[in-house]
């Protein structure tokens, strides 16, 4: 009879009227400041995301003269096989590329997290290299390898025929879907790896012990433990790859040949035919699947329950010679391909006349001889990326802070949170075109009133490029910032309030220093992304403000492929340089200001 838990009574209830009541604390100046800032953050997102999106949707519903014609543009689109064929092409390319990328990404991630193979850190580093390359460079390298004058197509220029008596020349038919898919896979699979490595690392060894104890075979364990535990990672990876491949512009532009996809169609409609309505219409068709994929991913991720709790035991992979050997071979092939791509581009930028004269030269780095903007374009890109990194990081981190730590305006904050993660579903081309429509509009006529567009002055400036980049790459750093902020003790703010210390002081003295590694990571991500992006800026740069990544497209268009390769090498070297700088700074900071992390 002893120690039975006797509860005094059932859970209490109160009248509904009481539930709705609240003893509201008086609103302080500080509260007003926070509210003001939250509203400001909301307005900022409204101007840079919502109004431009509205503009592009609206434009797709009007004719050239600006009259509302509802879905007539879409009707035209779907009546013209030359147009709707691209939609099919895009879906086909994106689907195949996603399947291959996720498969490669999964095998690679599995190898570097769950096997005992050697060289895992090196493989991980190398495979991340493509993140620092413009997607175009894959296309350019592919041309040098498999194009009409490619190494492989030409049988290594007779080397084998002369010395070994056989001709391995082989034409894969690069220009078209094959080239695009190879390019997209090379571009996408590192992104899948980033997500899947995280998913595979978050596991509990005890699940595997249990499975082994139940005498489940390795294969069975794989399908009953491993696959379910990374299901959500796989879905996310697929979503990211699909969106990237579906919306990419650079690769289809360079190796697509006559094979049209949506992104290149938008470009043709807008730049080639000056048909902005149809450009807007195609943009919406580009946008719809990515938004659907985004929504599905959100819904699925919400169901995810953490399989890993605080008591989880990390998994230490056991050696398995056969598996380790096969995986080692696989990783070597993949990393070799990555390095071959980079190597080909660098080599091509250094030879005199491909494929006739392989003497080394730096002449392709003398951009004065070709169009595209040369070194000016390069410096513009560096400036743009630096501004994006600085302003993007400041704005993004501060608004993530307001959303995560603010206690005011609950609803507004949830809406802002949602808008902040939405940009991942917005293709760069759509952002670019939407920005043209929104910022180029001198005024709006509303109910007989003419409202001048105050943002019109930004059109054609560096500012609009920077803003477009900040928006285009908003989601990933926003989640990084949110995660970092969530890891902070929520009582820091309470403690500060108890000592009457204003929130901005605690932000400055505690939150920011503690989150500094995340802040630097965000800045680096912004810099590198802005450096390599083409799609968001191709519609927005002014003739007087050319950009390096766009120059790559234009030089390739003009047939100066070697110069395009040279410019790409510049971009890569800069991005990797910034990465190295970031590592050094982080290392230095960890040593100094974060001495508290060491015991």
Q: Can you tell me which of 230, 429, 514, 538 binds another protein, judged by CB under 8 A?
A: 514
Q: Can you tell me which of 210, 333, 495, 558 binds another protein, judged by CB under 8 A?
A: 495
User: Binding of another protein at residue 513 (CB under 8 A)?
Assistant: yes
Min dist CB 596 to another protein, Å, is: 4
User: Binding of another protein at residue 586 (CB under 8 A)?
Assistant: no
Give the range of 8-16, 154-162, 183-191, 253-261 binding another protein by CB under 8 A. Answer: 8-16
Q: How many residues bind another protein (CB under 8 A)?
A: 48
User: Binding of another protein at residue 483 (CB under 8 A)?
Assistant: no
Give the range of 276-284, 456-464, 492-500, 530-538 binding another protein by CB under 8 A. Answer: 492-500
User: Binding of another protein at residue 37 (CB under 8 A)?
Assistant: no
Give the range of 11-19, 99-107, 426-434, 521-529 binding another protein by CB under 8 A. Answer: 11-19
| Alpha-carbon dihedral sign for residues 335, 336, 342, 346 | positive
DSSP assigned state of 62? B
| Alpha-carbon span 381 to 371, nearest angstrom | 16
Q: Can you tell me which of 14, 305, 310, 447 binds another protein, judged by CB under 8 A?
A: 14
Residue 360 β-bridge partners: 351
User: Binding of another protein at residue 306 (CB under 8 A)?
Assistant: no
What would the two tokens of residue 286 be?
């580009």
Per residue, the 3-state secondary structure of 369-431, as one string, reads: HCCCCHHHHHHHHHHHHHHHHHHHHHHHHHHHHHHHHCCCCHHHHHHHHHHHHHHHHCCHHHH
Min dist CB 36 to another protein, Å, is: 17
| Long-range CB contacts (within 8 A, 24+) of 115-123 | 115/317, 115/320, 115/323, 115/324, 115/327, 116/317, 116/318, 116/319, 116/320, 116/324, 117/324, 117/325, 117/327, 117/328, 117/331, 118/324, 118/328, 119/328, 119/331, 123/331, 123/334, 123/335
Residue 281: name the closest of 433, 445, 464 by CA: 433
Q: Between vectors from CA 52 to CA 47 and to CA 58, what angle results, nearest 5°?
A: 135
User: Binding of another protein at residue 497 (CB under 8 A)?
Assistant: yes
Q: In the complex with another protein, which residue's Cβ is closer, 38 or 342?
A: 38
Site for another protein in 518-557 (CB under 8 A): none
Residue 450 β-bridge partners: 445
Q: Can you tell me which of 306, 498, 544, 592 binds another protein, judged by CB under 8 A?
A: 498
Going by their DSSP bridges, the two strands 357-360 and 351-353 should be labelled as antiparallel
Give the range of 39-47, 470-478, 500-508, 533-541 binding another protein by CB under 8 A. Answer: 500-508
Give the range of 141-149, 375-383, 431-439, 590-598 binding another protein by CB under 8 A. Answer: 590-598
Q: In the complex with another protein, which residue's Cβ is closer, 449 or 595?
A: 595
User: Binding of another protein at residue 31 (CB under 8 A)?
Assistant: yes
Q: In the complex with another protein, which residue's Cβ is closer, 451 or 595?
A: 595
User: Binding of another protein at residue 310 (CB under 8 A)?
Assistant: no
CB 352 within 8 A of CB 363: yes
Min dist CB 411 to another protein, Å, is: 16
Give the range of 67-75, 116-124, 295-303, 502-510 binding another protein by CB under 8 A. Answer: 502-510
User: Binding of another protein at residue 592 (CB under 8 A)?
Assistant: no
Residue 571: name the closest of 124, 143, 137, 144 by CA: 137
User: Binding of another protein at residue 492 (CB under 8 A)?
Assistant: yes
Min dist CB 521 to another protein, Å, is: 17
Q: Can you tell me which of 82, 213, 446, 595 binds another protein, judged by CB under 8 A?
A: 595
User: Binding of another protein at residue 491 (CB under 8 A)?
Assistant: yes
User: Binding of another protein at residue 3 (CB under 8 A)?
Assistant: yes
Phi, psi of 500 (to 5 degrees): 60, 30
Which residues, at least 6 apart from 443, have a Cβ–Cβ distance to it below 8 Å?
Answer: 450, 451, 452, 453, 456
User: Binding of another protein at residue 274 (CB under 8 A)?
Assistant: no
Q: In the complex with another protein, which residue's Cβ is closer, 25 or 163?
A: 25
| Alpha-carbon span 102 to 104, nearest angstrom | 6
Q: What is the CA radius of gyration of the chain?
A: 27
Residue 445 β-bridge partners: 450
CB 179 within 8 A of CB 151: no
Give the range of 282-290, 494-502, 517-525, 568-576 binding another protein by CB under 8 A. Answer: 494-502
User: Binding of another protein at residue 597 (CB under 8 A)?
Assistant: yes
Min dist CB 81 to another protein, Å, is: 56
User: Binding of another protein at residue 11 (CB under 8 A)?
Assistant: yes
- Give the number of C-alpha atoms closer than 13 A to the C-alpha of residue 43, restricted to the C-beta side: 6
Q: In the complex with another protein, which residue's Cβ is closer, 9 or 359?
A: 9
Phi, psi of 138 (to 5 degrees): -65, -45
Footprint of another protein (CB under 8 A):
1-14, 18-19, 21-26, 28, 30-31, 489, 491-492, 494-502, 509-510, 513-514, 593-599
């Amino acid at each position: 009879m002893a120690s039975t838990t006797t509860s005094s009574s059932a859970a209490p209830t109160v009248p509904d009227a009481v539930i709705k009541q609240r003893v509201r604390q008086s609103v302080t100046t500080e509260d007003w400041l926070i509210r003001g800032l939250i509203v400001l953050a909301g307005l900022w997102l409204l101007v840079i995301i919502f109004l431009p999106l509205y503009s592009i949707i609206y434009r797709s519903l009007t004719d050239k003269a600006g009259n509302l014609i509802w879905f007539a543009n879409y009707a035209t689109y779907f009546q013209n096989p030359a147009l709707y064929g691209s939609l099919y092409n895009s879906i086909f390319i994106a689907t195949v590329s996603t399947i291959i990328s996720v498969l490669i990404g999964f095998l690679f991630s599995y190898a570097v997290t769950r096997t005992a193979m050697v060289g895992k850190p090196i493989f991980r580093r190398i495979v991340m290299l493509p993140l620092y390359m413009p997607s175009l460079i894959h296309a350019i390298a592919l041309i040098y390898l498999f194009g009409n004058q490619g190494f492989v197509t030409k049988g290594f220029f007779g080397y084998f025929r002369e010395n070994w008596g056989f001709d391995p020349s082989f034409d894969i038919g690069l220009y078209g879907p094959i080239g695009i898919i190879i390019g997209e896979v090379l571009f996408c699979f590192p992104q899948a790896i980033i997500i899947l490595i995280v998913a595979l690392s978050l596991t509990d060894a005890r699940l595997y012990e249990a499975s082994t104890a139940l005498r489940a075979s390795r294969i069975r364990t794989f399908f009953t433990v491993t696959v379910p535990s990374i299901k959500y990672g796989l879905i996310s990876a697929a979503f990211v790859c699909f969106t990237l491949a579906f919306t990419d512009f650079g690769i289809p532009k360079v190796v697509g040949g006559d094979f049209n996809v949506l992104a290149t169609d938008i470009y043709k409609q807008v730049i080639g035919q000056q048909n902005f309505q149809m450009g807007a219409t195609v943009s919406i068709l580009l946008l719809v699947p990515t938004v659907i994929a985004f929504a599905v991913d959100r819904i699925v991720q919400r169901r995810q329950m953490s399989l890993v709790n605080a008591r989880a035991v990390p998994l230490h992979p056991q050696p398995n010679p056969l598996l380790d050997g096969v995986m080692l071979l696989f990783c070597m092939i993949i990393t070799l391909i990555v390095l071959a791509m980079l190597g080909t581009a660098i080599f091509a930028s250094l030879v005199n006349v491909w494929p006739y004269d392989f003497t080394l030269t730096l002449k392709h780095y003398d951009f004065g001889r070709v169009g595209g903007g040369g070194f000016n374009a390069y410096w513009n890109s560096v400036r743009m990326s630096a501004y994006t990194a600085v302003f993007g990081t400041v704005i993004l981190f501060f608004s993530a802070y307001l959303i995560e730590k603010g206690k005011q305006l609950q609803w507004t904050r949830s809406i802002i949170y949602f808008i902040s993660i939405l940009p991942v579903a917005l293709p760069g081309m759509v952002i670019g075109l939407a920005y043209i429509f929104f910022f180029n509009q001198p005024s709006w006529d509303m109910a007989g009133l003419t409202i001048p567009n105050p943002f019109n002055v930004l059109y054609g400036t560096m500012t609009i490029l920077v803003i477009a980049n900040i928006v285009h790459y908003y989601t990933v750093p926003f989640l990084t910032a949110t995660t970092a902020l969530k890891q902070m003790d929520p009582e820091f703010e309470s403690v500060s309030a108890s000592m009457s210390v204003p929130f901005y002081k605690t932000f400055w003295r505690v939150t920011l220093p503690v989150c500094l590694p995340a802040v630097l990571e965000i800045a680096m991500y912004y810099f590198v992304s802005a450096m390599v992006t083409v799609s968001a800026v191709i519609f927005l740069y002014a003739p007087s403000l050319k950009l390096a990544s766009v120059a790559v497209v234009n030089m390739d268009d003009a047939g100066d492929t070697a110069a395009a390769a040279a410019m790409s090498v510049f971009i890569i070297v800069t991005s990797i340089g910034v990465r190295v700088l970031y590592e050094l700074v982080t290392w230095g900071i960890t040593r100094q200001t974060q001495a508290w992390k060491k015991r």
